[in-house]
Structure 1
Amino acid sequence: MRALTPRHADYRDLPRSWRGDLVAGITVAVVALPLALGFGVASGLGAAAGLVTAVVAGAVAAVLGGSHLQVSGPTGAMTVVLLPVVARHGTEAVPVVAIMAGGLVVLAGVLGIGRLVAYIPWPVVEGFTLGIGVVIALQQVPLALDTPRAEGENAGLVALRTLARVDWSQAVAPLALVALVVAVLIALPRLHRGLPASLVAVVLGTVVAEVAGLDVDRIGVLPSGLPAPHLPVVDLETTSALFSAALAVAALAALESLLSARVADGMADDLGRTRPNRELLGQGVANIASGLCGGLPATGAIARTAVNVRAGGRTRVASLTHALVLAAIVYAAAPLVGRIPLSVLAAVLLITAGRMIDLPTARAICRSGRSGALVFCVTLAVTVVFDLVMAVEVGVAVAAVLALRAVARSSGLHREPVPDAPGDRVTAAAERDLLHEHIAVYRIDGALFFADVRRFLDELALVSDVRVVVLRLGNVRVLDASGANALAEIVTDLRRRGMVVLLKGLRPEHRHLARSVGVLDALGDERHLFDDLDEALAHARSHVRRDPATTRMG
């Protein structure tokens, strides 16, 4: 539990980075504000719910989370999950779902489930990241054109439908602002890397729109305040009905937060890595706090986290500043912020999305081999066409199947010649050949597991005209229950056909499994288990010599 709690080291770099953290926090707040409002409205709870989520969950996750760079708040993926909940149970059920999901995420962090994200393959992470960049860019099309968003959930289809009905004469002004902001964001870092390019671009775009009197869509009127915290009152029946929704929200919150933090780690290699279990704990408590304040479930937000990194954030003070600035904006600067053109914010997110699309990395993965390229492309496609949770599930599943296939291909069954007995000078050549003719030595390499057991069974089923079969297992690195069961079937089948089976080199870590599944029982005699090949062959020769059929043939 000590590893899951805040520590002094969280702010070790603050004396050097506090100016950049403050600027990054302000920049992220400006970008996050319309997103928080929009996601609140899209979820059905209203703009205030989106704001309280960004403020409360953002602050709690910044302090308690395991990432120095993560920015948390409402996200588009979460609204998709919440819409059916609102339709079935009403808006009052959403804070309850947030609290329940938060409790599940906290439990996952305490149980150490966060470390499982380390098993997500690199092509999946990069495909997910590039796909998110594409989705973020597509989501900005309606805002960049000042055109109402078309109906639909898929970002690509929505962008196409929006383009089909845009009034291009009205879109000139917002597109001019987009071009101005994009130019500033590209040129300013080259002129002076210390300047907050995103913040300067937003201010400049807003000033130009005001001075020129451009007729463009703005953020608009903000809520006048945030709701007070309260404990939702629900009965046991409603809570039971919401559990499945809470489980889905918890899975999405955990997965999106951990992947967002992992992407941020890749964007800032000079900083410490995310502590995944602490990140889950922080996100869980953040969801509980958001629900108590009437907010939405929250996750680590990749777009805002990417803006934070690019704007110069280096400690969790940046994400905490973002939450505090949003709270201050609600009470003090709502009219000024309400004048920011939506096309200006769209331009900021377009550049952020473009920087998430790492083409050199994509090329490197595609050149690494067909398996990596396939996993990368499948994850990218599913992220863009469906959603990020399905993308990770499908990507990991494809990677797992390809990995099992590779392991199975690297495994093999090889028949080896029977070596002469050490120091055997007296056995006649004819007798020696006869002995060797009735002894078969097979070596199994690699893995003996569920993906490949059928092949071993089929190959050994062809063994005939021998009296003793020696199976060398010293090179078997992986043995699962299916493999052990197959080994027991092999031994049973060979013994049923009148052969003696000797096992050599069964690893100590595999012996308990072999005994439990029945491999040793199938041998018929534990003396048929050997650690030394010479001893196994000596035992095999003694069996052949004692076999009456062999004696008659000799």
Structure 2
Amino acid sequence: MTDLIAGLTVAIVALPLALGFGITSGMSAAAGLSTAIIAGLLAALFGGSKYQVSGPTGAMTVILIPVVHQFGISAIPALGIMAGAMVVLMAIFKLGAIINRVPWMVVEGFTVGIAFIISLQQIPLALGIAKGNGEKSYVVAWNSLQNALTIGLNFSSLLIVAITLMIKFSYPVLTRKLGLTLHIPASFMALLIVTLITKLFSIDVVTIGSIPRSLGALQKIEFSNLTSLLIPALWIALLAAVESLLSARVADGMAHEKVHFEPNRELFGQGIATVAASIFGGMPATGAIARTSVNVRSHAKSRLASIFHALVLLFIALVAAPLVSQIPTAVIAGLLLGTSYRILNPVSIMESLRTTKSEASVLIVTAFSTVAIDLIWGMAIGIALHMGLARYSKKPASL
């Protein structure tokens, strides 16, 4: 029974995130939702962690945005199949244990960088304006602000974002003070209340739009750009491997597991999940730290919770698609801004910065490189700095 409750809770949390990351990636809300369903189900069945919840993530959208910009959405099925196959090969060659040893301060810096990028990606939606030109998230955000100053702000969108954030952060405090034990996540309450407000008061805002009542359509695979897609596919495979193993590692720590997850089996499951999601109109997926954490905190005991989460999302896609289509995109922007703040976790960051100067510098440099260059280079620079500082201090590096 606890697995079913955990699965339902995770599904409610996953819904706005799946929709949001689908939109942010340059694909669609439907693509994000189908990814959460297909990848969530297959990774739970074939993966190596009993707590892992998989689907579209903010980190993956960062890599997908320039690919979609350069090659178009039609390239994503081939890209996803290639990346998923690479992750499966990593599992076959038993690279999971090696990838799983990425230094913790590199992971912290990487996570901080992702949180900043997710925040920057929401600026156009929050302002209610067209996305500015540029490939880097900070360039797009700056150009979007310039556009807003030129053509004017959409105050309805800003108000919706503000109300969404207010509900998301005040709802848990209010329920606790009132002694209520409602098992409804704050993000879902914010989504529900603000969507109802926009409908009741006929507020003119952009909504998610039509979502097909289906699991996803079989996609035509474009073979014309396979050579050009090889490097992006490799980056996606590396990101999927690192993020998924990190998420599983965090889950074991939260659950105080004595028997830890199987890294190579986890890679196999994630690879299969990405291939399948891409074939049916979704996007490459990874283990999602935020949703996996909710799963553990909701007292999940087995992979049945993750399976049930995917089935609940499938039910929503088949039955409630017309209702989901009415959700304002500004609500999604507000929820993702709140999520990025939670990912950032200022208290944890301050504690990390109070450690040794070497570890603090690894965190800062990794975070800055992740935002300024890209995710893979950010992690590579962080690992190189960690190993260099460890050698300099004559301490063995953990990689």
Query: What TM-score comes out, normalization by structure 1 length?
Result: 0.62
Q: 2:211 aligns with which of 215, 218, 222?
A: 222
Identity of aligned residues (%): 37
Tell me the distance in 2 between the aligned counterparts of 1:311 and 1:212.
36
CA distance 1:165–1:232, change in 2 (3 Å):
closer
Matched, 1:334 2:321: yes
Q: 2:117 maps to what in 1?
A: 135
> Per the alignment, in what secondary structure is the counterpart of residue 348 of structure 1?
helix
SS in structure 2 at match of 1:152: coil
Aligned to 1:525: none
Corresponding residue to 1:76 among 61, 85, 110: 61
2:35 pairs with 1:53 = yes
Larger Rg: 1
Indicate which of 246, 253, 270 corresponds to 1:259.
Answer: 246
- Residue 32 of structure 1 contacts residue 304 of structure 1 at CA under 8 Å; is this kept in 2? no
Mapped partners of 1:163, 1:241: distance in 2: 33
- The aligned counterpart of 2:275 is 288
191, 196, 204: which one aligns with 1:207: 196
Opposite residue 25 of structure 1, the aligned amino acid is A
Q: Structure 1, residues 437-468: CA drift from partner, whole Å, max 9, x if none?
A: xxxxxxxxxx9xxxxxxxxxxxxxxxxxxxxx
Q: Would the alpha carbon gap of residues 55 and 106 (structure 1) be closer, same or farther in structure 2, given more than 3 Å must change?
A: same
1:298 pairs with 2:298: no
CA distance in 1, matches of 2:299, 2:123: 27
Paired position in structure 1 for 2:337: 350
5 Å-filtered alignment, 1:492-503, equals none
Q: Which has the higher contact order (CA 8 A, sep 6+)?
A: 2
Q: Distance in 2 between matches of 1:172 and 1:230?
A: 39
Equivalents in 2 of 1:259, 1:205: separation in Å? 34
Between 197-206 and 310-319, the greater mean CA deviation after superposition: 310-319
Q: CA deviation at 1:324?
A: 3.0
Q: 1:265 to 1:153 in 2, by over 3 A?
A: farther
Given the two structures, how large is their TM-score scaled by the length of structure 2? 0.83
Displacement of 1:303:
5.6
CA deviation string 1:89-109 (max 9, x = no partner): x92x54334333322212212
Match of 2:5 among 16, 19, 25: 19
Q: Which residue of 1 aligns with 2:159?
A: 176
**Following TM superposition, by how much is the alpha carbon of 1:81 offset from its aligned partner in structure 2, in angstroms?**
6.3
Corresponding residue SS for 2:133: coil
Corresponding residue of 2:170 = 187
Cα separation, partners in 2 of 1:35 and 1:324, compared to 1, 3 Å: farther
Distance 1:128 1:71 in 2: 19
- Could you tell me which runs of 5 or more consecutive residues in structure 2 were left unpaired when the two chains were aligned: none
- Cα 1:107–1:24 shift into 2, 3 Å: same
Q: Look up the equivalent residue of 1:296 and give its one-letter code.
A: M
Counterpart AA for 2:55: S
Match in the other structure for 1:149: 131
Matched with 1:166 is 148
Distance 2:10 2:235 in 1: 32
- Structure 1's unaligned 5+ residue stretches are 1-14, 411-446, 448-554
User: Aligned residue for 1:120?
Assistant: 102
Amino acid at match of 1:195: H
Letter of the 1:27 partner, please give it.
V
Q: Report how far residue 221 of structure 1 moved.
A: 1.6
Q: Is contact 1:31-1:304 (8 Å) kept?
A: no
More strand by share: 1
2:71 aligned partner: 86
Give the direction of change, closer, same or farther, for the CA distance of 1:385–1:319 in structure 2 (3 Å limit): farther
The answer to whether 1:387 aligns with 2:374 is: yes
Contact kept in structure 2, 1:254 and 1:280, CA below 8 Å = yes
Q: Displacement of 1:395 after TM fit? A: 0.4
